[in-house]
Chains A and B, each alone.
Chain A
Amino acid sequence: MELNGKSISNKTSILNRVKNSSSLGDIIIILVMCTLLTVAVGNKFLSIDNLISVCRQFSFYAIMAIGMCCVIITGGIDLSVGSVFAFSGVVTCMAMTDWKLSVFSSVLIGCISGLAFGFLNGLFITKLELPPFIATLGTMSIARGLSYGITGGYPIGSLPDSFKFIGLGYIANIPTPIVLMIVLAMVFSFFLRKTIAGRWVYAVGGNEEAARISGIKVDAIKILVYSLCGLMAAIAGIATAARLGVGQSTAGQGYELDAIAAVIIGGASVSGGVGNVIGPILGAAIMGILRNGLVLMSVSAYWQQAVIGVVIILAVSFDKLRNKKK
């Protein structure tokens, strides 16, 4: 009997995984939203151009959310991503315009700056034993302040086209940011599901003490996830600067909350131990489609905030109810 159960579960494993994971709820929500929008505004929503622009828009959020997801799986939180997003963006732009570095080295410097902020977060949390909320609240302010400081608050423009390609270009007819998101998602998914360090990320979130006794270097894992989260925020920030053609110290305000929301809508638990990469992408997609739909239906920006809040609560409660029934 047991053998039977096993073979069945093997065959349907992918279907089952989708059915049992919180992704199903998110997919349903996305489909419902798309249907409603098509009915409401027709081709304005369902045109290829619009759909691609929606995807490009949410890919920036999704990239940040993937990093955030790793942090949340360990039971932590990172409030600094919005500021790191801006900081890395302006650092990259300054490197190109003021320091006259090549696009490649500038982007590299930008990424390293994000990684460094994440690394700092990790150090504060593990070595100084600050609660993640406090540590990242601090770095959130530091990174924002630095961005204002080094730019004097002015946007940095006149960027080379080869840089703008990251935000505006196409690879095989797909916008670069979307390609970037897909590649990063695949890398992170592999990392979380297949590598030792990935397994340890879940273990630390599941039970830190048991993880430590099992020989897991808890501190190292935490430093790693915060560094990765900082790096992902940097990538999103650089790509956004490339898309807009300017590096702004005001960019990314409040993005930390969007990233957290995307992760939570995607089914991760703030108490740690659960979550996957698909979740935050779907979460970001839901928010992206919603924003786009509201704009198309000419709902004022003031009301959009409220609607998004309602959707966050609906998406998460949908999940909770379904789990309870099981």
Chain B
Amino acid sequence: MDEELLLMRNITKNFPGVQALKNVNLTLRKGEVHALIGENGAGKSTLMKILSGVYQKDGGSIVWEGKELELHSPMQATNAGTSIIYQELNLMPNMSVAENIFIGRERKKHRFILNEKDTILEAERYIHEVGLNIDVRTKVEELSIAKRQMVEVAKALSVRAKLIVMDEPTSSLTDREIAILMDVIRRLRTQGVTVVFISHKLSEVFEISDRVTVLRDGECIDTLVTKDCDESQLIQMMVGRPLTDIFPKSEVPIGDTLLEVRNLCAGKLVKDVSFELKKGEILGFAGLVGAGRSEVMRAVFGVDRLTSGKIIIDGQTLRYHRPSESIKKGLGFMPEDRKLQGLILGMAVRENTTLASLGEISNACIINSKKEREVSLNYIEKLSIKTTGIEQKVNNLSGGNQQKVVIAKWLAIKPKVLILDEPTRGIDVGAKKEIYALMGKLAAEGVGIIMISSELPEVIGMSDRIVVMHEGCVRGTLDRKEASQEAIMNIILRENMRKV
């Protein structure tokens, strides 16, 4: 158990304008689950990408099973016996689940011919191992993000690697899938596989990891045995100062109705949904994955067509149900997948922050560059986005900072109603608190906020009211006073019971 699998010594890595890693040391033992934690931009993903050969290190050495290893390509790392699930999913949407699992390692017969039967049979095995109940011939684009994430896990398993790195695998999963993933990881541990587990959720770190390494600003703070430390200690190591009162929910006077959704039906997943949101209110949406929460919001905002229903913002009924109309009426919508729906990755931070509010910084359709720079600098500061400057491509930001850029884009339209779909996904504890504080501040200014979240503590901690959804319908609404994990689960379970 104590045998060393991998040693990373004095790893340094520079990007133009930032030193992402400074003399980082990391030791991984055979068969351990090693958690890697740290704030957004601390360098976790960068360290792992060096390990997987995506980035080349600028200094330091990597020792794999006692031998020095020079990595120049991801292929070499795979051959050595590593497998990595990147933070940003890397599946081919237009290909089937089975094809994705074996991409680059296609099952074949007679050397050149694809062996479809084997591909499907083997893929099914791995898909069942991660508790998915889908046809492996489905195209990935038809799957929800949570399911895609589990397909990534299946893909990593199929490599039969000695080391599996999971970069924030749980950020897009709900409790049920997280539980399955934890089982998968435990099974891997008993098989002697080493797992590196990156997460911003400390409860998971405590649940699953044997040891934990904390990074801060590209430096390795320490490696500890998990059961010897407690949460506040880890937070202090990550943030550099103690953090108290994670949910700074303040009492805000609730005003008149801002948004009213009546009998909304859309697609297969949204059935007769009605709710309303008041000025200064934070309305939480809870439910299991596939409950249709995102779909409701997409229809409200006009991304997806609605089949029937009425949406009234501040007394005005929406007519065309298009994003441009919704924005004009003061509605902002931060979608759940930042890479696919939130950002234009090839564009700079500046262009991304102002994309939805260009009208406000322009005269006669001509963009005022000075104003544009001011706006984006302002939000970089307000949200403490870690970037080398406003001209940095968002592609080069860490995951959490990308998320903040999306938030900045929607704040820039000065919304009356802001819909946030999983706003804290992949965001570190410190930044999470900043975002909660920001939500509180917006609410105090009279903005109505809708928050979809799969993290129950956060929904309960921040919401004035909680709408519980299940299978496309609203199943109940809870007041702040009545809200608790049990109360929410009860509503969901009651529905399941009734069906049986």
Q: What residues make up the interface of A, taking CB atoms closer than 8 Å to B?
A: 2, 5-6, 9, 194-197, 199-200, 202-203, 206-207, 209-217, 273-274
Contact = CB atoms under 8 A, between A and B. Distances in A.
B344 A209 contact: no
Contacts of B365: 195-197
A210 B340 contact: yes
B323 A196 contact: no
B324 interface: yes
Interface in B297-348: 301, 303, 322-324, 326-328, 333, 335, 340-347
Contacts of A203: 344, 347, 351, 355
A274 B346 contact: yes
Contacts of A273: 344, 346-347
A206 B342 CA distance: 11
19 contacts: A195-B366, A196-B358, A196-B362, A199-B351, A199-B358, A203-B347, A203-B351, A206-B344, A206-B345, A206-B347, A207-B340, A210-B343, A212-B303, A213-B333, A215-B323, A215-B326, A215-B356, A216-B355, A217-B322
A159 B236 CA distance: 83
B342 to A, nearest CB: 6
Given A195-B366, A199-B367, A213-B341, 20 more contacts: A2-B389, A194-B366, A195-B365, A196-B358, A197-B365, A206-B344, A206-B345, A206-B346, A206-B347, A209-B341, A211-B344, A211-B355, A212-B323, A213-B342, A214-B355, A214-B409, A215-B328, A217-B324, A273-B346, A273-B347
Interface of B: 17, 301, 303, 322-324, 326-328, 333, 335, 340-347, 351, 355-356, 358-359, 362, 365-367, 369, 388-389, 391, 409
Nearest to B368: A194
Contacts of B322: 217
A215 B367 contact: no
A33 B388 CA distance: 39
Contacts of B343: 207, 210
Given A215-B327, A216-B324, A217-B324, A196 B347 contact: no
A213 B17 contact: no
B344 A207 contact: yes
Nearest to B409: A214
Contact of A202 (B328, B345, B347): B347
B24 to A, nearest CB: 21
Nearest to B327: A215
A8 B345 CA distance: 25
B303 A213 contact: yes
A-B residue pairs, 4 tightest by C-beta: A206-B344, A215-B327, A215-B324, A214-B356
Most buried by A among B328, B355, B388: B355
Contacts of B359: 196
Nearest to A207: B344
A197 B341 CA distance: 20
Most buried by B among A195, A200, A210, A216: A210
Contacts of A209: 340-341
A233 to B, nearest CB: 25
A92 B346 CA distance: 41
A217 B359 CA distance: 13
A298 B281 CA distance: 79
A34 B116 CA distance: 56
